[in-house]
Amino acid sequence: MIRPFSADLRGLADEELMALVYEGQARAFEVIFDRHAGVAFSLAYRMCGRRSLAEEIVQEAFMSLWRSTARYDPSRGSVRSWVLRVVHNRAIDAFRREVAGAGQDVLDESIVETLPARERTEDEVERRSDARLVRGALDGLPRDQRQVIELAYFGGFSHTEIASALGLPAGTVKGRMRLGLSKLWLALGEATGVLP
């Protein structure tokens, strides 16, 4: 009995499937999607906390992956780490869009009256100031260190999960985390005037 074409594809490694995707074989991309959509959704959901937004992020990420398959480079990591990197970046973009959208001016004064008062309290101002300091310090880190810190603290992933997702040894992830957190601690100490 002859197996369906997609069943044959399921036996291929991700890298072999990507070669077929380069040739425009949508079924090969479907297998890639089936293998990695679950972990991609998990990452997006952990980062944004809303199911509908996480689904949108994953959909956008896979659409961009389908359109730009030439950018996958096996020497830089596994297909899974490539997918998660794109999902991670899309989630951050979505978060930035929401933050930017929330910061728009309201022209109708009657609407301003309905806004929650907590947004005008000193606590909220301090929280936003702290968030800006942390974001600025994170942006100052090398990309590889920033990535593992964001996955751990914003994504909720363990060292082992990050190592698996990025295709790195656990020791490398721990080293990048340790170095990045040290630099972050120093940067925040300088920014606040409280040196460690």
Whole-number pLDDT of residue 99: 60
* Four-residue CA torsion sign, 27, 30, 31, 32: positive
Does 1-104 carry CATH code 1.10.1740.10? yes
In this structure, which topology does domain 108-196 adopt according to CATH? Arc Repressor Mutant, subunit A (1.10.10)
Residue span(s) of the chain under CATH 1.10.10.10 come to 108-196
pLDDT tens, position by position, 3-22: 344 558 888 998 899 888 88
Quick: pLDDT tens for 84-139: 888 988 888 887 776 665 554 444 444 444 445 544 555 555 666 666 777 788 88
The alpha helices in the chain, defined as continuous H runs, are 5-10, 14-22, 26-48, 51-67, 79-102, 109-114, 122-139, 143-153, 159-166, 170-192
For residue 128, the model assigns a pLDDT of 67
CB-neighbour burial class of residue 95 (10 A; exposed 0-12, middle 13-18, buried 19+): middle
Q: Which residue has the higher pLDDT, 36 or 130?
A: 36
pLDDT in tens, 155-189: 677 888 888 878 889 899 999 989 988 888 888 77
Query: Which whole-number Å values give the CA distances from 3 to 6, 16, 27, 156, in the listed order?
Result: 8, 19, 14, 40
Instruction: Quote the pTM value.
Output: 0.51
